[in-house]
Amino acid sequence: MSNRTDHPWWERGTIYQIYPRSFQDSDGDGVGDLAGIERRLDHVAALGVDAIWLSPIFPSPMADFGYDVADYCGIEPLFGDLAAFDRLLTAIHARGLKVLLDFVPNHSSDQHPWFVESRASRHSAKRDWYIWRDPASDGGPPNNWISDFGGSAWEYDAASGQYYLHAFLRQQPDLNWRNPELKAAMLDAMRFWFDRGVDGFRIDVLWHIVKAEGFPDNPPNPYWRPGITERDRLIQQHSTDQPEAHAIAAEMRALADSYGDRVLIGEIFLPNDRHARWYGTPERPQVHLPFNFQLIENAWDAATLRDMIAAYEASLPPHGWPNWVIGSHDAPRIAARVGEAQARVAAMLLLTLRGTPTLYQGDELGIGQVDIPADRIRDPQELRQPGIGIGRDRSRTPMPWDASPFAGFSTVEPWLPLNPDWPTRNVAAQEQDPRSMLTLYRRLLALRRAHPALAVGDFRLLDAPDGVLVYERRHGDERLRIALNLTDSSKPLPFAPEVLLSTLDPAPDGVLRANEGVISR
């Protein structure tokens, strides 16, 4: 594979996730918007990434901040309108970047006209576009399924005497992908955006979109204990990852492929063997990249990471391309998880592993722990299940651009608090610092562009001292080695280096310093 010359852009490139509410406010309401993103595009282009993924920007009541869609073919007025989107799309493409939208196929808003009609009567033409069931014999929910946000996954509708299914909030009724008319309407929504010029989609909770026929109870999870999310009290055996969902993913892929150089990224949380099935087969491919969250989910030590990387690589089908993520709008910040010193090592790991990396806004600044006061919590997941550390607001705080009031993000108090060190940890300050996290990310991304071994080369794990992760990337005659010290003590460097980049300056001399990563010839 290392000598291939036909790698598509999504294999060679890097994706940058923007959470629109928190990137840049252009109209003084404390919430980011499309015009704000357009204003800050030069920062994204200067990073050296290849594509921007926008979290949902469709019309929404914002019960779950855009993941409750009320119109799949429009723009939420809080963010702008279709004309503003077209301007942004043109501006992104003018900088040589791609645009991915966040498609939410498992559920809509309960205010979507489809659901309003579905709910109006048992005999509605769109009744079967959603999942309705009669009560159990005792009058309760049809089965024991639990919402990902806690509580029953079923909501009773007194007017019709039936329950509807919602894998998330009750304001997010699940769509019925077994209904051919609903499926056609959703594929038409994807087609609407492809026709407008978008380059692909990140597909939200793709593995949820079909449920087992008959709706049997989910089995109990023997490992569950209090303090873990209520959802995990059961194993989601019948409510997720059903065989029929793969056929739908293949139809989505066929649609994307009909537009040429497009990409589909599926949000899928599954063990390696089941995760790999979402690539499909060469004859009937599914998503290009089933998102791989294992750098977020695993302990941060060399032995664990080595085993995880090896197992993931081994699980990939021959036609499957890997991908990696260390941060997102749902996950704790990497610098909050492992500390700023190791966050620099994590940046090098993310950008030198084989596969497509996805960066999350603000991680290039090393934003760490942001404590959200109780009266500022906005995340419905945290509000419904407080005290167990699952709040997502901490990763959705506004981008700090400079040391001016409200960090240059807005002219008023932002919708969420800024990181507490924003007067010094901001884009403008880090642009002036040759040793800043931002400078490190720019240098790493420049190396990926300059060295095919890093972008598309083969991968091989190498022997290393305890606490150190070492691997080789190779393309043609070029061979690069990466050594990452995941400890706070010095370690011997297991090869004679010609250092291209160190996470610490100056470059090392035969020793891998504490919390240091190096890329060497």
Q: Please identify every residue annotated as catalytic.
A: 204, 267
Tokens 């923007």 sit at which residue?
A: 18
Handedness of CA 414, 47, 259, 177 (dihedral sign): negative
Determine the Cα–Cα distance for residues 19 and 362; give it in Å rounded to an integer: 10
In eight-state DSSP terms, residue 371 is: P
Calpha distance 16→13 (Å, rounded): 10
With beta carbons less than 8 A apart as the criterion, state whether 381 and 373 touch: no
Phi-psi region of 227 (alpha: psi -120 to 50; beta: other; left: phi over 0): left
Which contacts of 133-137 are long-range, i.e. CB under 8 A and separated by 24 or more positions? 133/162, 133/163, 133/165, 133/215, 134/161, 134/162, 134/163, 135/161, 135/162, 135/163
d(CA 302, CA 464): 9
Residues 339, 340, 343, 348: what is their CA dihedral angle, to the nearest 10 degrees?
-150
Q: To the nearest 10°, report the CA torsion of 301, 303, 308, 309.
A: 90
Listed in sequence order, the DSSP H helices in 95-141 are 113-120
CA separation for the pair 118, 160 (Å, rounded): 11
Of 198, 199, 197, nearest to 9 by C-alpha is 199
Q: CB of 470 within 8 A of CB of 494?
A: yes
Output the six-digit token pair for 418.
Answer: 């800024």
Residue 15 · residue 100 · CB < 8 Å: yes
Please spell the DSSP secondary structure of 160-216, one letter per residue. TTEEEE-SS-TTSPBB-TTSHHHHHHHHHHHHHHHHHT--EEEETTGGGS---TT-P
What is the CB neighbour count within 10 angstroms for residue 81?
13
Q: Within 13 Å of residue 19, how many CA atoms lie on the same side as its CB? A: 25
Check: CB of residue 65 under 8 Å from CB of residue 29: no
